[in-house]
Structure 1
Amino acid sequence: MTREHPRTDRLFEIGSAYRQAKVLLSAVELGVFSELAAGPLDARDLASRIRVHGRSARDFFDALVATGLLTRDDEGRYRNTEESDFYLDRAKPTYLGASFDQYNRREYVLWGSLTQSLQTGNPAAETHGHDHFGSLYNDAARFRTFVTAMTSGSLLAAQGIAHQFPWENYQTLCDVGTAQGCLPVQVALVHPHVRAIGFDLPMLCSAFEEYAVKRNVADRVSFAGGDFFKDPLPQAEVIVLGRVLHNWDLEAKKMLLDKAYRSIQTGGAVIVYDMLIDDDRRTSTTGLLSSLNMLLWTAGGFGYTATDCTGWMRSAGFTKTMVRHLPGGNSMIIGEK
């Protein structure tokens, strides 16, 4: 009896996954989903609208059908799926495409250097130690891509925190590393009694204020400029470190939690949210890949488990800790003072 060999399908699917990713990223870049949000189009009209050559337009659109991002009717007209229409139409407030823009413009290229970074321990992105965000923000185009991607990548988690955390028990909030202010804005939209501060490098001020005005909460959120390596954090009942700790080495992670503890009023809490690695480090593909992404982006950043973070919180002085899952693959860890 001949023994069957293991199947190769999964290996080739993983090995060629960059093709599928790039089809989605190019579709977002070209505005496919925004065009179809207005109504169905056939291949010729859609190709004309997004200015792609006819040679492979059908293959491109049908690849999006095959991956479940578009549908095609019997008359050959393409439509968005519910998912792509809700999240990938630039005109909707639920648009998450800025994250995919960041993947396309920056991360797709960076991941081509993974082997070299694994061998050297050095990032593929240009960094200047703790100032790698300052370096990024000095380029206007990269700045806009990055801060809008931060909002896109945080939106679902921020909405989850706005609804899951007991904000009725608190009056003040400080979001550290706020970028455009996604988290303070979402909390302000749901809980008008909360007064929120966004803390980040001073060059983020205009982006923060513009976003607050756009979301009609400028009367309840404010920006505080500073450098958390040099300056104390603003005082508040609740301090949030959202998708921040993964950017830094262990010493900086602990320093930020120590600073948060000193700035939180007694009876307050710290919220850390991030894409966590499972405690056994066996199943969280997204968390582990996110940690490798920090290798490519930063000088010392890495992902972590919930157990890692609760241990750092307790070392900083926080007592009761708890973990809650959030939308979008993130989790929040709450530490009470």
Structure 2
Amino acid sequence: MNATPHAKADLMRLGTAYFKSKVLLSAVELGLFTHLAASPATEPELRDALGLHPRASRDFLDSLVALGLLTRTDGRYHNAPAADAYLDTGKPAYVGGFLTMLNLQFAKWDRLTDLLRTGGISYDVEDEKRQHDGMYADAKRIRRFMAAMDGINQLAGPALAERFDWSEYGSVTDLGGARGNVAAELVKAHPHLSASVFDLPPVEEVFDEHMAALDLTGRVRFEAGDFFAGSLPASDVLIYGHVLHDWSPELRTRLIRQAYAALPPGGALLVYDVMIDDERAVNDFSLLTSLHMMLVSPGGGEYTAAECRAEMTAAGFAETDAVPLTDLDTLVIGRKAR
């Protein structure tokens, strides 16, 4: 960034960038976009419907206009196309569940300086697993987390169905596959596949509900289990999608080795995450996401595709490859020798 008056203004905008994200997150929390999807409304109507105070409501709504999320015509607010498609709870492409999770985690960024000075909360491997699994003891948190995973995985499922050659494989298991969105996309695109989701037992109820809603009951099975208790399911292809970044490097190594042991000869492990670019200088989103994972989990963080491939090779995989999966995710493929 050059030392010019323009650069000074850019620094000011960068320092206030969180203003924009919080306006969006609060709009999702208030249900604004879902309300406007039913009918455009004036500022007084929105104040009444959403319980907004007149001191801030107009600037709040007009900020969303300036951000391109709303439009305003003759005093009535409408959803812009992106907001209508992705931020209305009634639409199948809704990503607000993920944004809701980010809103709940927003305050954790206040601890960034402490993370940089101390490394975050002290933990051991057992503490790491207990904290993660504790979330599944609360039914409300499970449903909230599953909704967040739906938003994250919307692009990954169709992309995975297209980017990987499934023709030589008969079965696939999505490890930590949540409500089954990715597995659902795979069986829709490749009907020959036998698909299952492996996740903790409390997830099964919401998985069954979701498969029924997708009219895929029986097409995708649920297998209850724990990554760290016993072996993984046998399957031609195993998937870790947005899973390994939840865990410390030690546990990532363990999970990759467990997958290698579970796969048959010729099997494949697919790993996708918001991976850091190998130069660690190009993709600011992945680096910032890594810091976020460090703030919200005791051992988590992003990693590079090169690091993932090295872990796969050390585990015994004969071939590895890395390809872009979505605009945000990288896919690393490990193939076991026949």
TM, length-normalised to structure 1: 0.93
1:4–1:34 CA distance, 2 compared to 1 (3 A): closer
Count matched residues.
Answer: 332
Q: Which residue of 1 aligns with 2:293?
A: 294
Describe the SS at the equivalent of 2:322: strand
User: In the TM superposition, what whole-angstrom CA distance separates every residue of 1:152-193 from its partner, at most 9, and x where no partner exists?
Assistant: 112211221122222233221111111222211221222222
User: In the TM superposition, what whole-angstrom CA distance separates every residue of 1:100-154 from its partner, at most 9, and x where no partner exists?
Assistant: 100112x1021111222222212499x9322222111223332222221122112
Describe the SS at the equivalent of 1:251: helix
User: In the TM superposition, what whole-angstrom CA distance separates every residue of 1:46-73 from its partner, at most 9, and x where no partner exists?
Assistant: 3222221222221111100101111112
Describe the SS at the equivalent of 1:137: helix
Separation in 1, partners of 2:158, 2:39: 29
1:76 aligns with 2:40: no
Are 1:246 and 1:294, in contact at CA under 8 Å, matched by a contact in 2? yes
Q: Which residue of 2 aligns with 1:15?
A: 15
Structure 1 runs (4+) deviating above 6 angstroms are none
Q: CA deviation at 1:310?
A: 0.9
Q: Which residue of 1 aligns with 2:110?
A: 112
Unmatched segments (≥5 aa) in structure 2? none
Task: Write out aligned runs for 1:87-102 (5 A).
Answer: 87-102=86-101
Matched AA of 2:119 = G
1:215 aligns with 2:214: yes
Separation in 2, partners of 1:185, 1:248: 25
Separation in 2, partners of 1:328, 1:132: 30
Q: Which residue of 1 aligns with 2:119?
A: 121
Q: Which residue of 1 aligns with 2:223?
A: 224
Are 2:122 and 2:298, in contact at CA under 8 Å, matched by a contact in 1? no
Moved more, 221-230 or 188-197: 188-197
Describe the SS at the equivalent of 1:7: helix
Describe the SS at the equivalent of 2:178: coil
Q: Which residue of 2 aligns with 1:336?
A: 335
Q: CA deviation at 1:207?
A: 1.6
Are 1:123 and 1:296, in contact at CA under 8 Å, matched by a contact in 2? no
Separation in 1, partners of 2:43, 2:51: 12
Calculate the aligned-residue CA RMSD, in Å: 1.9
Moved more, 164-173 or 213-222: 164-173
Describe the SS at the equivalent of 1:266: coil
User: In the TM superposition, what whole-angstrom CA distance separates every residue of 1:268-315 from its partner, at most 9, and x where no partner exists?
Assistant: 211100001010111211111111122112222221111111111111
Are 1:128 and 1:135, in contact at CA under 8 Å, matched by a contact in 2? no
Moved more, 290-299 or 239-248: 290-299
Q: Which residue of 2 aligns with 1:255?
A: 254
Q: Which residue of 1 aligns with 2:233?
A: 234
Separation in 2, partners of 1:184, 1:151: 12
Matched AA of 1:314 = T
Describe the SS at the equivalent of 1:323: strand
Matched AA of 2:288 = L
Separation in 2, partners of 1:90, 1:64: 18
Q: Which residue of 2 aligns with 1:191?
A: 190
Describe the SS at the equivalent of 2:198: strand
Q: Which residue of 2 aligns with 1:24?
A: 24
1:5–1:28 CA distance, 2 compared to 1 (3 A): closer
Separation in 2, partners of 1:190, 1:45: 44
Q: Which residue of 2 aligns with 1:303?
A: 302
Q: Which residue of 2 aligns with 1:317?
A: 316
Are 2:273 and 2:329, in contact at CA under 8 Å, matched by a contact in 1? yes
1:211–1:7 CA distance, 2 compared to 1 (3 A): same
Describe the SS at the equivalent of 1:324: strand
Matched AA of 2:139 = A
TM, length-normalised to structure 2: 0.93
Are 2:207 and 2:222, in contact at CA under 8 Å, matched by a contact in 1? yes
